[in-house]
Structure 1
């Protein structure tokens, strides 16, 4: 994975920001929107195609700028390079606190008129709407809400080994032994930093609960990061390597999902974008594959909100196409068609979920319940919880610990606390 380009390198002077904003028009033709995203797997590519089709039906053109890489690290590296040269795309997939970081640079456009016409403040939950704003103004539009803390399973494989979907870590490890004996990989995984972090954050939530999770990953409390609970989570996380195969280093997430689809592996811990791969393979939720919350997180919801931030444009035709794109993203047609393919749930909870599959229906129910019960927490692995530079440091520590037999949980927790201390 390419080396990360930290945001401090992008702290441009006011003059440079103004120049960069003016230069954005040179990259955009009339009525064209260049869209940067990292949706390149089968299910993802099909899903984003629905937005392209809707935009083109409105008479505008879509210039696709797809950069492969599951959590968007490669896409962000490319975007920062483009922005530093004064040539960002019209719209870019930017998530979580990074929207605020880009807002500080003065490069994002204002979507308040589109939001007012579409009644976004009424349609969107506060947790979603607040992430789309910088300095009180809409600068981005949400595409969906993903649940990260899902466990996916192939029921035929589980049955062949005589095990059921585990509801605790002890059950998961016990099932792993039987699955190994039956000739299956118990837990499919891709050895990439963001995938390691995805698994790790679900373990932390499971063992610590929502308040502990927020203290550790949002508040970056050093005592929490060095606590016995965090050490227990780190121990459990590393133990999960016993359930994985030797071919995991560098494996893309969708290839790990395919191991479950093909019956080579029994389970995978991954966000619900994995469901898009099951759907693309013609499989049905509840019969061909099973979704369940990661053990110990039934009442909790780790969220990842995909969103598109809009960059400033001077060309009126291009700006109009950009606003059309923003409007279309929150209209029911796109919200329903996109999220059925992508595996996520709509960003607006007022839509009828009757035509969605059972996993999506449960996800929406659990999202609303978690919001009401204050057990809704932002993903570390997917750019929701912390600044990009702190996230990068956490990624390095988590994946180094996971792959280094000599590093202890105590050492890893100390390093996490040290990384957190640099954030202030």
Structure 2
């Protein structure tokens, strides 16, 4: 009964947001509460929800201050030179812009943190997409696909979870996957080229003479680069660059927890660029509309995960997946695990999958000579689909930055994410790091 309720809750939630019946905020709160009551939980739902909110509170704090920090850097004009460089390179060509977005995303996302990738890339590319009339869903899609590949790095999170769950060295899991990651990166660039060509044709069809209007670099730069004397700080660009690089270095090195790093960097940025109290209040107020929708969704997701875990629905779903795999598929447990990882890391958290389901699958695979490290590699190939999950906090940041609805993003990106996961799996099998059969 609990398993049925769990799947029904997930199905109801996805139906509500995919059909646009209610907002994601409403669905994340009311759906689990209703099914928690059906599961026989009343007064104990409160502590479950608070546990979920507490678990995501650091993420909410981090995102709030990260949005404010990069917003301040944009106000101060830090990214204006980057915008000018991009404009000179792309020359207003949709294909170059879209492919350039993919290249930028693959480079920036190597730090393994999706939130930072989304903030940096959207700050640079969203104004250009809007100015050229490009579909913002393409940018959201490419950024998420890039993170789906670079999440396999040991510092990205999933690899560390898989290694910890199966008592492996993260390097043994990651290094042999590098050729598959390169294949995934090549697929993303191909996807960017295809999407860019489609945008070029669409924009040409919209123009009166059948060609894409190619404004000059000077015109584009004038439109895209801010010219607000009240907020720009051109004399402080080197100081702001040093502060941003120090922040990114701290993120990679793990000097302090991410929320703390962003809080400190934001406070320094405010004092450095806007020492007057009135100016600081004005900048915070200006970025509040971008912050509130994101962090409210983060805390709403905490209620969803808190009830999902507290009622035992996560464990029930984990047990059901292992029971559904026929014994005849035992010798093929590595590719089966890769395929199973796509939907299950979408519906439940990475922690629940890697610590709850993967060890059970690995034990079943061991009887057919498939090693734990091979199972760990197979489990990582579905991360592109996982990042589309409404339970991933950074997803809300991405859709907020590009100003699209979560359901729109999921519908547009899902096929590309599944294709990328299959490319990673296929490359892993071809290179021998993921066995097709034991």
Shorter-chain TM-score bucket reads: under 0.3
Structure 2 length-normalised TM = 0.25
Comparing both structures, which one devotes a greater share of its residues to helix? Answer: 2
TM-score, with normalisation over the residues of structure 1?
Answer: 0.25
Answer 1 or 2: which has greater strand percent: 1
